[in-house]
A = this chain, B = another copy of it.
Amino acid sequence: MAFIPDVQKIEFEGPKSKNPLAFKHYDAAEVVDGKSMAEHLRFSVAYWHTFRGDGSDPFGPGTISRPWDDGTESVENAKTRARVAFEVFEKLGVPFYCFHDRDVAPEGDNLRESNRKLDEVVAVLKEEQERSGVRLLWGTANLFSNPRFAHGAATSPNADVFAYAAAQVKKAIEVTHELGGENYVFWGGREGYQSVYNTDMRRELDHMGSFLRMAHEHCRNIGFSGQLLVEPKPREPMKHQYDYDVGNVIAFLRAHDLLGPVKLNVETNHATLAGHDMIHEIELAASQDALGSVDANVGDPMLGWDTDQFPTNIYLTTQIMMVLLRYGGISPGGLNFDAKVRRESYDVIDIFHAHIGAMDALARGLKIAAAIKTDGALEKIVRDRYSSYDSGIGKKIDERKTTFAELESYMIERGNPARSPSGRQELLENLINEYI
């Protein structure tokens, strides 16, 4: 029985199709740069936005009510939602999904009861995974909604809250493991502060490090070999969050000797809220061997909060795919649609429009990025630009075989450097446009 009988499986119809419920660019089996689109893109639906989002915002309650949802916090309702979710995954042809523990199952009155309810729903998820072949990209624990986390979770001034968070993450990791999740994500929405005046930053950072170390130990103990990922975000809900951006998270992971076992889940909207272009953040992470997965959404550059929109901008999707092609792909991570339909887009069909548009935009980005790579013109320009490091004094610098004294002698001799060629930014922007 279908919950959404009006929508059939979304098929690839090619760029000329005018059918809004067809893919114009995403063809899962099409081979691009040596791999199928499905392998490159590893799309994932975000359970929270797509099945729990109700369209509420700080100035109004929800606008969205789904026909299959009875509005209760019962386990039965949660199980139904899970069945619907898999119907959507399959109709979209998306191979992965992601969830928070509290998205899929209701919270109980205490930890034991919450765990029990979670287990009940996980059984359904497992059954659906097996039936459909859809897999879990990553699981995570919601450590920010419940009022107990108002002051933080791992950085709470209340040791009991730290302990509760630890127990909750322990369970979420175990459940992720049970479902064959390929990654586990940490997003510390309340790990920061509203006021420096009441905050002991040193102690909080220290607790946050201990928390992550213990989580990592627990994964080893239970044999969970999925990738661990920290997701940077600069602020919101807190005034300041410690996992501010890729650089700050890397600083933190290096301080606790966790870079390597732990990588990053980088989100477009979080990047821009921190003042960075998405391509900067993923390139920075990848250049440090720290890129684990991508939350494929987009914010509005004029807005100062997380709008979590579906990514439809071809420049953005091209840039993302250029980095992924350069660094060998995103696996075992994926492209997770941490995005929500607008508050005013309250029909079920809007979910489909949203995902189809984003999948097509990323597929176009992939094809464009592959064409740029194949063509090689851009890569050559960049390689040539740095060619002075391929020989002579440049090579010595590149290979770390020189000193300030030697460089001074060299330059005293020469007097002045050779002139650098133009940066050709305008030409390069035109070049990118040739492929778009």
A433 within 8 A of B: yes
Chain B residue at minimal CB-CB distance from A162: B397
Interface membership of chain A positions 383-404, coded 1 if the CB is closer than 8 angstroms to chain B and 0 otherwise = 1011011001110011010111
Number of interface residues of A (CB under 8 A): 159
Interface of A is mostly: helix
* Count of chain copies: 4
Q: What B residues does A319 contact at CB under 8 A? A: 196
Whole-angstrom distance between the Cβ of A169 and the nearest chain B Cβ:
7
Whole-angstrom distance between the Cβ of A279 and the nearest chain B Cβ:
5
Chain B residue at minimal CB-CB distance from A400: B210
State which of B145, B315, B341, B416 has its C-beta within 8 Å of the C-beta of A111. B416
- B147 and A63 contacting across the interface, CB-CB below 8 Å: yes
- B272 and A417 contacting across the interface, CB-CB below 8 Å: no
- Interchain CA distance A189-B60 in the complex, whole Å: 10
Q: What B residues does A402 contact at CB under 8 A? A: 214
- A312 and B146 contacting across the interface, CB-CB below 8 Å: no
- B353 and A426 contacting across the interface, CB-CB below 8 Å: yes
In the complex, chain A residues 192-233 whose Cβ is within 8 Å of any chain B Cβ: 194-203, 205-207, 210, 213-215, 217-218, 221
Q: Which of A163, A303, A397 has the most CB of B within 10 A?
A: A163
Q: What B residues does A353 contact at CB under 8 A? A: 424, 426-427, 430
A203-B398, A250-B255, A344-B423 known, 5 other contacts, Cβ within 8 Å: A160-B394, A248-B251, A255-B288, A304-B305, A356-B430
A–B pairs, 30, beta carbons within 8 Å: A20-B430, A58-B58, A58-B236, A60-B147, A63-B147, A110-B415, A110-B416, A112-B412, A112-B415, A160-B414, A162-B394, A163-B410, A164-B411, A166-B404, A194-B344, A196-B319, A197-B425, A198-B381, A198-B425, A200-B382, A200-B386, A201-B284, A207-B389, A239-B300, A251-B251, A272-B301, A273-B304, A303-B304, A342-B425, A353-B430
Q: Which 7 A-B pairs have the closest CB atoms?
A: A304-B304, A159-B394, A247-B248, A160-B417, A344-B423, A110-B415, A301-B301
